[in-house]
Amino acid sequence: MKNTKFITLGFTSVALALTLFMGSSLFAESSVKDAESSRLQSLAKFTKVLSIVEQYDVDEITIEQLIDKALDGMMKNLDAHSNYLTAKDYKRLKVQTSGEFGGLGITVGMKDGALTVIAPIDGTPADKAGLKSGDIILKIDDKSTLGMTIDEAVSLMRGKVGDPIDLAIVRKGENKPLDIHIVRGIITIESVHAKMIGEDILYLRVASFDQKVAADVTKEIKKHKKTTKGIVLDLRNNPGGLLDQAVELVDIFVDKGKVVSQKGRHESDDKTYSATSSATLTKVPLVVLINGGSASASEIVSGALQDHKRGVLVGENTFGKGSVQVVLPITDKEAIKLTIARYYLPSGRTIQAVGVKPDIIVAPGEVTTHKNEFAIKEADLKQHLQEELEKVDGKKAEKKAEKKDKKDIITPEMLNKDIQLKEAVDIIKALVIIKG
């Protein structure tokens, strides 16, 4: 009986398992059928709407035009950086990435639905005309930017060298829109600038991430390595650029660990970039300057250095552009630009929409000083040590100063005009003292 009972129970278990398996298979098959049915219903609904609009819209419109409008609306509603590229748009994009053209020298993005200046590029017509990070562009030559894509706006701002353009902008702190007149020019960017602050602080300004950034920064660090006790890395108004250059720049300061990871919907889109000890050049104290114009690659650099506790971040919160876009052709002449992944910093936090927060928040501006005209010092007394003063303030000091080109140094007066940089230098000096 026991054996019979065991066999009966065994049969029941097998039967139950078989029933569950068949049920699972039927459920999976049913789910696939439901998904396919839903897809067909959605396509039927889309086709029906197209037919109704084509037949009854007040303006005569072709099915090709309707499809283009539908695709355009769909891509725009995915996120601020995805869009449908018509034949004209796709051709324009190719010119922007490979041809020579006249432009203003600004990077723009969509922020809260408004066309916003991420950053003007150093020395360009936009920079000279006074455009600032955070400016909202309302009009481009009397054309409203409401509902306009980034690519449409960029195409309007590009043009022949020497041609003028007028922008109406809204700026924080201003009571009414500002009109800015700019003359287009050839945009040539010198991405890395190096200067000395005092005798031992190296100032490195990285304006954008082009193909030579890591090599140029390496060159400057090696050139001043013997005298450098601290480095200020200025990424303010840096709109980004090449990811590999951002990774290599971090690698110069960090000897191991993750720099940034890229995660998408599919595993094939996931990538991780790490630092290597062989590429590390310096371990001197580092301060990184950031602001609202620091975006994309510059956010990866500043965020990675912050997560590795390799540098102190000073300034303002960054822009918050932490997504990856690719251009995917759909015909020989048309394409879509689609967001396929997001960037994540070594700690796992995202950049997208939140940006990177500085360790020390410092608003832009000048250092206010008050000179006391009535203060009496040792040098003002009759019996002051004239000979000793000459040793300190005399000809020897003047000769020493002559050795340096003014273009290669940042003077105390220049520091006082940039309170963020002044704060960075003070922090570097403190870190140097602590490090000994």
In the numeric block, the tokens 């200025």 are attached to 234
Q: How far apart are CA 390 and CA 386, in angstroms?
A: 6
Between CA 198 and CA 400 the distance in angstroms is 12
**285 in Cβ contact with 305 (< 8 Å):** no
Active site residue 418: no
Which of the residues 89, 135, 234, 307 is marked catalytic?
Answer: 307
Per the residue annotation, which of 111, 132, 258, 321 is the catalytic one? Answer: 321
Alpha-carbon span 127 to 244, nearest angstrom: 27
> Is 250 in contact with 275 (CB distance < 8 Å)?
yes
- For the question of residue 321 being annotated catalytic, the response is yes
Active-site hit among 191, 208, 294, 296: 296
CA 29-31-35 angle, to 5 degrees, is 120
Clarify whether 296 is annotated catalytic: yes
Catalytic (active-site) positions: 296, 307, 321
